Chain A
Amino acid sequence: MLLLERVTVVYPNGLKANDEVTVEIRGGEILALLGENGAGKTTLAKVAAGLLRPTAGSIFLDGEEVRFESYLQALRRGIYYVSQEPQLIEGLTVLEDVGLTLELGGRGRSRGELRRELARLSAKVGLRLEPEALCEDLSAGERQRVEALKPFLLGSRIVIFDEPTTHMSPLEARALGEIMREMRREGKGIVFITHKMKEVLELADRVVVMRRGRVVGELERSRIDEARLLEMMFGEVGRAAKSKGMREPGEVLLELRDVSAAKLRRVSLRVSRGEVVGVAGVAGNGQRELFEVIAGLRRAEKGKVLLGGSDVTSKGPGERARLGLSLVPEDRLGWALVPGLDVATNVYFALNHKRFFLDWREVRRAAESALSLVPIVGSPSSRVESLSGGNMQRLVLARELFREPKVLVAMNPTAGLDHATTVTVREMIVKYSERGGVLLISEDLDELAEMADRIYVMSRGSIVGEHAKPFDLEKIAEQMVS
């Protein structure tokens, strides 16, 4: 149906995001576009959807060469692109937002008609949708759902999903898979961009693997196999972080007793030396508040926080750091790291030495020792925002482990990172847990299953379950959305 031929995209900063990429999208088929972050998948999708004009190359729709000057043109020719973080229009209801898209796509209809059709459609694909809900109140997963319905109403022939499951719970992801299958039954061509192997194995009829802006391999359904795909993606056999063996946990290092604050309701948990304890949950169920309460950024209204046996409930972050708490916040730039300062200063400031005069040679030495824990690309004097996301996280982790903490609390430490960095980060955390305790708050259930010794499940601010190995992931996923 749609053929992208020898598409090359060079960004103004000189980055060649697509290098002579040729991909064919066929009707009645789910095509997975697989690759690491920065492989050029989104760039290619944007070319197909008219959001980006290629530097070179051609696009053929049903054999006829087309040049999309805008997103609107592509939309009217039956191509629908669902971006990674759909932006619905704030202030409109779901019904109005859908109506507006249809209007733009030349398929406008009356409000009543649209309401009936939407109800019929959501019943058909098994999606609950509140047409009168305001768009800004929807979660990221719900936004994806609204977006997923639009191509049916638009009559789009080609639908491109750009990493749609990033913010979805396992159940939501499964529902989306059903929608894609329904689209396939209707003969639409579906492009599914992802870097998650599991999703590819479940859904794809064909896989195109990209690396560094080029297509490095293509496999039909019958020949899809994980090892081959990993090899294509990473250029070598992709390694997965080794889960450690069972170990007897030592003394309790971090404990929360019946803590209530903001969203949190009577949260109790403990982390002992030698274990990685996971907190699973769908985003927005109190994980951020939990992190803040432990960090000392948010006061516990009720209950107690204990660190290494001493009560730190009324202590600030500085005091807690001195008692051996290390933090890896979920936002790297601005929370873990300070933009505008160099790498060395970014290491030094968090060590929070009490000495009044700074000795820059010592600052540099501290930075170099911390960086010896993990190789990063970038010198101590380079600005921290010039580092890639992966290197920033390596830096944060190196710094936090350099402090020789008793407890490390990390929130979504591998979100948005490529495979290689993800492996490094997980290995560092697991290795550290031999010496201290780790609390790992993560939305990625696979990550928790791989690393954790125990998993707490959080939902609506409460701990609703505690699981030991071997984990029953189905059960955990169920509790997450309870």
Chain B
Amino acid sequence: MEQRLGGVLAGGALGFALAVTIASLATGRPLEIVENLIWVYTSPAPLVNTVLLSVPIAMAAIGLSLSYRARFITIGAEGQIVLGSVAALWATAYSGLEGSAALALALLLPALSGALYALIPFLLRAYAGASEVLTSLMLNLVAVYVTNYLIATYLREGAFVMTRIVPPELRAEWYLGLVMIVAAALSAHLLLTRTRWGLAIEVYGRAPKAAETYGYSARQVMLLVSLLSGGLAGLGGAVAMLSFQHSLTPMSFPPGYGYAGALVAWLSSNNPLAALFASLFFSSLMVFGRSLQAVGVPLSYALAAQALIVLFTLIAVARERQWQ
């Protein structure tokens, strides 16, 4: 853990240096870029944005870290997040419910839809032997296009292709997400280290044959991690909807929180507590990348800078792993 953190910091610093250099070259105003960087990490507004963006990423990463520990390599968090946000939108803006009933439904329904959607790759793997990597990846696209269809038809509101908006009184404060990801990371940590389910995940992931021989069912383990990671991702999508998205417009490709979550899970060695911090780091990068646009860096440069930082962090972490 400690060395891993060192690697993340070293790689991140190197990546930042390179990103700042590139952005400076692009604009010819290095001072403003550095000022911008400091602003992102010290001012309330961008910090709140960092927290908001980190919620779907962290929820996905925490669930995926459980999944990957059981060597169930799903990348379906993306689609589960999308469905979760649709479910939360429906519960608050379409269901006709109000107040706490609407809020409760807006958390319950997304968790349920994420978990149910995660059942599909599980069933295909457990009973048909299909690789969860491929099925979950394809299902992400299915989720996106089904959502686009819903936006254009049943959820459509007014002349433009867009949905209703989450009513202001049902929107979540920024700290709700923070509370939720801290709680999720702690619960996942406790599950792994203090319960029979966690033991089953650890044993099955490291030695499937030993797990089966001594009475742990492969299907039960896969089912467990599927439901948990799906439910968490769905909740992440719900909180994103309630706290900053507020409505949906058609997507040409998935928003990327789930993929970022998979990356973060890897970056943090599938440790849920580490995933919490890695998610915050990751979303701060996104905020920094976007803020560069304000000082005149083209969006594509900003995205490239962001990717460079991630890339260097990954290289640093991979090197440390090799030496261990």
A and B found bound together: yes
Q: Known: A339-B206, A345-B199, A349-B199. Is A321-B214 also a contact (CB below 8 A)?
A: yes
Minimal beta-carbon separation of B68 from chain A (angstroms): 14
Asked if residues A338 and B206 are in contact (CB atoms below 8 Å), the reply is: yes
Asked if residues B196 and A356 are in contact (CB atoms below 8 Å), the reply is: yes
B215 at the interface (CB under 8 A from A): yes
- With both beta carbons as reference points, the residue of chain B lying nearest to A292 in the complex is identified as B213
Q: Which residues of B contact A358 (CB under 8 A)?
A: 193-196, 198-199
Asked if residues A334 and B209 are in contact (CB atoms below 8 Å), the reply is: yes
Q: Which residues of A contact B174 (CB under 8 A)?
A: none
Asked if residues B207 and A338 are in contact (CB atoms below 8 Å), the reply is: yes
A352 at the interface (CB under 8 A from B): yes
For A317, give its contact among B197, B198, B215 (CB under 8 Å).
Answer: B215
- With both beta carbons as reference points, the residue of chain A lying nearest to B196 in the complex is identified as A356
Asked if residues A338 and B203 are in contact (CB atoms below 8 Å), the reply is: yes
- With both beta carbons as reference points, the residue of chain A lying nearest to B209 in the complex is identified as A335
Q: Which residues of A contact B132 (CB under 8 A)?
A: none
Q: Known: A356-B195, A357-B194, A357-B195. Is A340-B206 also a contact (CB below 8 A)?
A: yes
What interface size band does chain B fall in?
Answer: 20 to 34
Q: Which residues of B contact A198 (CB under 8 A)?
A: none
Report how far A318 CA is from B213 CA in the complex, Å: 8
Q: Which residues of A contact B198 (CB under 8 A)?
A: 358
Report how far A331 CA is from B210 CA in the complex, Å: 10
The total of chain A residues at the interface (CB under 8 A) is: 31
For A353, give its contact among B194, B196, B197, B213 (CB under 8 Å).
Answer: B196
Minimal beta-carbon separation of A223 from chain B (angstroms): 48
Asked if residues B214 and A317 are in contact (CB atoms below 8 Å), the reply is: yes
Asked if residues B206 and A341 are in contact (CB atoms below 8 Å), the reply is: yes
Report how far A335 CA is from B211 CA in the complex, Å: 8
B216 at the interface (CB under 8 A from A): yes
B212 at the interface (CB under 8 A from A): yes
For A337, give its contact among B195, B199, B207, B217 (CB under 8 Å).
Answer: B207
Chain A contact residues: over half helix, strand or loop, or mixed? loop
Q: Which residues of B contact A349 (CB under 8 A)?
A: 199, 203, 210, 214, 216
Chain B positions 207-259 with a Cβ under 8 Å from a chain A Cβ: 207, 209-217
Report how far A350 CA is from B225 CA in the complex, Å: 21
Report how far A335 CA is from B214 CA in the complex, Å: 9
Report how far A354 CA is from B195 CA in the complex, Å: 10
Q: Which residues of B contact A335 (CB under 8 A)?
A: 207, 209-210, 213
Report how far A170 CA is from B322 CA in the complex, Å: 44
Q: Which residues of A contact B78 (CB under 8 A)?
A: none
A380 at the interface (CB under 8 A from B): no
Q: Known: A318-B215, A318-B216, A352-B215. Is A338-B194 also a contact (CB below 8 A)?
A: no
- With both beta carbons as reference points, the residue of chain B lying nearest to A352 in the complex is identified as B215
Chain A 347-389: CB-based contact to B (< 8 A → 1; otherwise 0): 0111011111110000000000000000000000000000000
Minimal beta-carbon separation of A1 from chain B (angstroms): 44
Asked if residues A341 and B203 are in contact (CB atoms below 8 Å), the reply is: yes
Can you name 15 extra interface pairs (CB under 8 A) apart from A336-B213, A340-B202, A341-B202? A317-B212, A317-B214, A321-B215, A327-B214, A329-B209, A329-B213, A335-B209, A338-B202, A338-B203, A349-B210, A350-B210, A352-B215, A355-B196, A357-B194, A357-B195
Q: A-contacting residues of B (Cβ < 8 Å)?
A: 193-199, 202-203, 206-207, 209-217
